[in-house]
């Protein structure tokens, strides 16, 4: 790294008009509106990332705030689903909002993957692999179990790095076992399973091919193709679409996605709004036109325009009645009067009416803990007035955070323009710091037109800390280093040393750090 010029030397150069033969000296102050073009995270968005860190950095064996409804990790709020959604939210936030804060997101993803590899997350599979009547009605004898969660009928692990699963029960079994996969061997295992099931997908539970589960390995194959300069996913999608097309597709008559396909019975299990929304969120990456065209019909009854411009999200029972009123009476499905009529009909059917969400963010009560934002578990379905109150850990820890941190068509944009090796080799980025520093990042980007690198930081607890981080991959030139708009140092960066080391004091107020390249 080149030598940093101190603030006193910079001011002297400016006063003396002492210009380098090749480079101008940086201005001593930035324009007031300089940061206006650099997007910034909200407190809530930064809080979600902090909450991910709080959960992922817990000591092995601790799962604070993540307790699932089912003790066997077999339901939709299991650890694996929470962690996977946090990982996708983390990736989306990095790509769309803080692309230059690489080490923070790399560290967070590594922590989440470490949690995924814990036996508490995947050990359920040993029992589940024996199958059962729920997923295989014709079963007459339990299957011989196996512990390897990726060997067959399970696609819960489609991460891009090497994975080692340690199977080491203490009081039973034949001793410790290790199941090790690399990025390529894991993909080979998934492709083999897809081919075995005639390209309809991979079972993620015994005898069960869920449409939603197969979206994640498909997305992973796309990124592997970019990394390996291959085109595997093109053939996979061609065969996948053709396989489902032979049997009428994966949509029901009501335009909802089917829930899953029973392989041995060759029949489908119907789905509803939950599985449809989940599937659509990720299938939108490669099938966006279809997903967008389906949404208006799928969403009928679930959204109502309330007085004052607010939008209510309706309970599924009310939504179904709204759909019936729209079909039988031609009622406006978004009208408040239609919702009220549906509520009265529902009241006659069931006195325990579950009314629509009545507050922003689904009516849930936001909680802050150690700088992290989450929505606490609440097993009560509704309050005395019928307002929805139920919150599961999947929603409270991951799903709402994903919705906040993602952008419209976020997965589609990442699919179409994924970061390549060329991006990583040339895009400036922060290194040498993580959320363990107790500092949250609100901005983190490089503007190639302005030749400016910007980060905005703040400690989560209001404490004052001196932190250190590196800014790497900077184009050669002279850089002014600014804190809250005022220059504090200058540094020459050449082709051999593209790194600037930053020391800065950060506290309760946001601190803006800018590295601005001088004009030649």
pLDDT computed for residue 511 by the predictor: 98
- Asked whether 209 and 194 are in contact (CB, 8 A), the reply is no
Query: Using CB atoms within 10 A of its CB, is residue 42 exposed (0-12), middle (13-18) or buried (19+)?
Result: exposed
pLDDT at 475: 96
pLDDT top residue among 351 and 417? 417
Residues 6+ apart with CB under 8 A from 168: 119, 176, 177
Does the pLDDT value for residue 344 go beyond 90? no
Q: Is 388's pLDDT higher than 60?
A: no
| Banded model confidence at residue 17, pLDDT cuts 50, 70, 90 | very low
- Phi, psi dihedral angles at 296 (to 5 degrees): -55, -40
Confidence of residue 91 (pLDDT cuts 50, 70, 90): very high
Q: Which residue has the higher pLDDT, 358 or 509?
A: 509
pLDDT of residue 487: 97
Per-residue pLDDT averaged across 68-91, rounded? 94
- For residues 360 and 261, the model is more confident at 261
Cα 49 to Cα 370: distance, rounded to the nearest angstrom: 12
- Structure letter (DSSP) for residue 124: T
Task: Work out the pLDDT band at 351, boundaries 50, 70, 90.
Answer: very low
Query: What would the 3-class secondary structure string for 286-339 be?
Result: CCHHHHHHHHHHHCCCCEEECHHHCEEECCHHHHHHHHHHHHHHCCCCCCHHHH
The CATH class that applies to domain 4-30+429-517 reads mainly beta
Q: Is the pLDDT assigned to residue 157 strictly greater than 90? A: no
Instruction: State what percent of residues in the chain have pLDDT above 90.
Output: 73
- What per-residue confidence (pLDDT) applies to 217? 96
Q: What average pLDDT score do residues 49-61 get?
A: 98
- Is a pLDDT exceeding 90 seen at residue 25? no
Highest mean pLDDT among 68-72, 143-147, 508-512: 508-512
Give the whole-angstrom CA distance, residue 363 versus residue 247.
40
pLDDT at site 154: 65
Largest CA distance in the chain: 91
Q: Return the pLDDT at 350.
A: 56
Q: Own/partner pairs for 393-397, CB < 8 Å, 24+ apart? A: 393/65, 393/66, 393/67, 393/68, 393/69, 393/77, 393/82, 394/76, 394/77, 394/81, 394/82, 394/85, 395/77, 395/364, 396/65, 396/364, 397/51, 397/55, 397/65, 397/66, 397/82, 397/85, 397/86
Supply the angle between the helices 211-228 and 273-283 in degrees, to the nearest 10. Answer: 10
CA distance 81 to 106: 20
Domain boundaries, the chain: 4-30+429-517, 43-295+405-416
| Mean pLDDT for all residues in the chain | 89
Decide: 458 and 506 in contact? Cβ < 8 Å: yes
Q: Measured between alpha carbons, how far is 193 from 212 in angstroms, rounded to an integer?
A: 16
- Mean pLDDT value across residues 178-203: 94
Share of the chain above pLDDT 70, in %: 89
pLDDT in tens, 423-475: 999 999 999 999 999 999 999 999 999 999 999 999 999 999 999 999 999 99
């Amino acid at each position: 790294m080149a030598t940093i010029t101190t603030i006193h030397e910079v001011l002297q150069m400016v006063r003396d008009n002492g210009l380098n033969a090749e480079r101008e000296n940086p201005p001593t102050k930035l324009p007031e509106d300089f940061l206006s073009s650099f997007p910034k995270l909200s407190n809530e968005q930064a809080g979600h990332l902090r909450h991910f860190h709080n959960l992922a950095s817990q000591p092995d064996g601790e799962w604070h705030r993540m307790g699932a409804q089912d003790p066997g990790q077999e339901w939709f709020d299991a650890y694996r689903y929470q962690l996977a959604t946090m990982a996708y939210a983390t990736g989306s936030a990095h790509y769309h909002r803080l692309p230059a804060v690489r080490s923070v997101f790399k560290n967070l993803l590594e922590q989440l993957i470490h949690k995924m590899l814990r036996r508490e997350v995947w050990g359920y599979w040993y029992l589940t692999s024996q199958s059962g009547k729920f997923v295989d009605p014709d079963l007459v004898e339990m299957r011989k179990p196996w512990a390897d969660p990726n060997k067959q009928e399970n696609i819960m692990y489609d991460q891009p790095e090497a994975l080692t699963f340690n199977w080491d029960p203490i009081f039973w079994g034949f001793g410790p076992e290790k199941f090790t996969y690399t990025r390529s061997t894991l993909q080979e295992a998934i492709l083999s399973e897809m081919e075995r099931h005639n390209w309809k997908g991979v079972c993620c539970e015994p005898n069960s091919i869920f449409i939603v589960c197969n979206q994640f390995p498909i997305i992973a194959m796309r990124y592997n193709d970019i990394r390996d300069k291959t085109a595997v996913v093109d053939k996979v999608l061609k065969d996948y679409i053709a396989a489902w097309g032979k049997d009428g597709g994966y949509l029901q008559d009501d335009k909802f996605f089917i829930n899953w396909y029973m392989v041995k019975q060759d029949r489908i299990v119907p789905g509803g709004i939950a599985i449809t929304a989940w599937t659509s969120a990720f299938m939108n990456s490669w099938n966006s036109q279809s997903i967008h065209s389906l949404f208006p019909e799928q969403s009928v009854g679930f959204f109502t325009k309330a007085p004052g411009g607010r939008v209510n999200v309706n309970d599924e029972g009310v939504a179904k009645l709204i759909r019936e009123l729209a079909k039988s009476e031609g009622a406006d499905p978004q009208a408040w009067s239609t919702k009220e009529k549906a509520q009265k009909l529902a009241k006659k059917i069931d006195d325990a009416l579950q009314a629509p969400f009545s507050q922003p963010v689904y009516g849930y009560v936001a909680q802050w803990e150690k700088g992290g934002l989450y929505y606490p578990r609440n097993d009560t379905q509704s309050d005395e007035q019928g307002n929805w109150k139920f919150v599961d850990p999947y929603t409270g820890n991951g799903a709402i955070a994903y919705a906040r941190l993602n952008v419209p068509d976020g997965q589609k944009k990442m699919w179409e323009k994924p970061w390549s090796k060329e991006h990583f080799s040339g895009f400036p980025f922060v290194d040498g710091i993580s959320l363990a520093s107790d500092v949250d990042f609100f901005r983190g980007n490089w503007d190639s037109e302005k030749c400016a690198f910007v980060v905005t930081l703040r400690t989560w607890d209001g404490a004052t800390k001196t932190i250190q981080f590196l800014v790497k991959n900077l184009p050669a030139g002279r850089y002014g280093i600014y804190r809250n708009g005022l220059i504090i140092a200058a540094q020459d960066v050449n082709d051999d040393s593209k790194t600037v080391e930053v020391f800065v004091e950060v506290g309760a107020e946001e601190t803006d750090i800018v590295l601005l390249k001088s004009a030649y």
